[in-house]
Amino acid sequence: MRALVTGGGGFLGGAIVRALLEEGDTVTSVSRGDYPHLRELGAETHQADLADPRSLDDVLPGHDVVFHTAALTGIWGQREDFFRTNVLGTRNVLAACRESGIGRLVYTSSPSVCFDGKDHLSATNDLPYAARFLCAYPETKAQAEREVLQANSPTLATCALRPHLIFGPGDPHLVPRLLDRARKGRLRIVGDGANEVSLTFVDNAAAAHLDAAASLEFDAPHAGEAYFIGQEKTVSLWSWINALLADMGIAPVEKRVPLSMAYGAGLFLEWGWRLLPLSGEPPMTRFVASQLATSHSYDLTPAKRDFGYTERVDLVEATRRLVGSLQSSRP
């Protein structure tokens, strides 16, 4: 199989590239930057801006499947930037697939497209999109996901996966930011600290993409549908974080902030960052406050039933690998 991965230089994209190569597939990675280590693994690499409608003209023909993971992530920034990458970029990938006769596309979405600030426990893929979004990332990802699913046709079969809180060795975002804030004494338990959350080990997220692609056809059960992906076992978020901090020799988080206070502070800081304006991102936003205080766990039954997803690495082993990589990389 010849597979093209957009965003192959990213955390998840790189894991998908490695998983495909291990299966013996021919892999092309398309990213904004250059990633020599992917060439060393055996992938062909190209640099492109997917917001350019012609960016894939010379790269895409001849491939069998596209894994579209490229996105602009984050909790803060200009909506125009998120729209350009997440929506226009996805439209251009879909158009290029049609023009090149690509038969399958697996899109990497996010559970945040459904996040409405409320608890979601064991949610399935019939959870509706949020009616209101607290930042541009989930808003633009929801719009892009809708367009991907609507594009499902006899000539281009599509589906979307929503891995939640991806972690593992090499994670450049989630865990390093938690550790940095904890070391600086800037991490607080928001809410009652009892919220239940699904995490996703990066290799499991990659495997889910390969599983979905393997049987993807226009009339397959998962064609034109979106699926949550996570570990079989959920975690009590703050207990898991404090156990991780203990493994890293960092004091546990004990101070608590009510959700209403954190949400209010986020609103105030967002206004301040917009009006002044200030560089970087606010230390708290409404979206982050709501995410830290609420439960969001997901039922994997639809993914197992419709395209045979199975967890490769359980939570205990995934956490062990994460801690090992963090400890080995400490100065």
Catalytic pick among 35, 107, 137, 263: 137
Domain of 21 in residue numbering reads as 2-164+200-231+298-311
Q: Residue 129: helix, strand or coil by DSSP?
A: coil
In the three-class reduction of DSSP (H, G, I as helix; E, B as strand; rest coil), residue 227 is classed as strand
- What pLDDT is attached to residue 83? 97
Q: Is residue 178 part of a domain?
A: no
Residue 137 annotated among the catalytic residues of the structure? yes
Residue 47 falls within a domain, yes or no? Answer: yes
How many distinct structural domains can be found in the chain? 1
pLDDT in tens, the chain (331 residues): 999 999 999 999 999 999 999 999 999 999 999 999 999 999 999 999 999 999 999 999 999 999 999 999 999 999 999 999 999 999 999 999 999 999 999 999 999 999 999 999 999 888 999 999 999 999 999 999 999 999 999 999 999 999 999 999 999 888 998 999 999 998 999 999 999 999 999 999 999 999 999 999 999 999 999 999 999 999 999 999 999 999 999 999 999 999 999 999 999 999 999 888 888 889 899 999 999 999 999 999 999 999 999 999 999 999 999 999 999 887 6
pLDDT of residue 329: 80
First to last CA, the chain: 41
In a domain, 51, yes or no: yes
Q: Which residue has the tokens 């993409």?
A: 209
| 131 lies in some domain | yes
The residue type of 15 is A
Residues contacting 324, CB < 8 A, separation 6+: 169
Tell me whether strands 196-197 and 235-236 are parallel, antiparallel or unpaired. Answer: antiparallel
Burial 43-67 (b: 16+ CB within 10 A, else e): bebbebebbeeebbeebbeebebbb
**What's the CATH number where 145 sits?**
3.40.50.720
Domain contains 204: yes
- On whether the CB atoms of residues 266 and 282 are closer than 8 A, the answer is yes
Structural domain contains residue 281: no
pLDDT at 331: 65
Kindly state whether residue 316 falls inside one of the protein's structural domains.
no
